[in-house]
Amino acid sequence: MNTPWQAFPDHLRLSVRLTPNGGRDAIDGLETGSDGEAYLKARVSVAPEKGKANKALLALLAKSLGLSKSSLSLLSGDTARKKILRIEGEPEDLIVRLCAITEGR
């Protein structure tokens, strides 16, 4: 299966499909779209206005991965459902953490 992340020497790029107004903040696992691209499914309870859903997504992932919010940033998809995030850190460590929060879902 494809993975939703790409490793670089000092960071990871993560593809995310975000559902705003999702009733709760949660990571819903991994999914492969009809285009064959893999992404992490996430939902947040806030509405997609003035970047609130994006901020909630970054906070949710930072907390889930045990990272500071400042180590995550939005590279693209500001107003789209599909987003690309940059996560600063050691790629192998980040992949282990991502696998831990997505397995068994």
CATH architecture of the domain 5-102 equals 2-Layer Sandwich (3.30)
**Residue among 13, 34, 91, 82 nearest 54 (CA):** 82
Are the beta carbons of 88 and 11 closer than 8 angstroms? yes
Q: Where are the domains of the chain?
A: 5-102
| Position 1 confidence tier, pLDDT thresholds 50, 70, 90 | low
With bands split at pLDDT 50, 70 and 90, how would you rate the model's confidence at 103?
confident
Task: Give the pLDDT mean for 92-100.
Answer: 95
pLDDT tens column, 40-94: 999 999 999 999 999 999 999 999 999 999 999 999 999 999 999 999 999 999 9
**Secondary structure class of 99 (helix, strand, coil):** helix
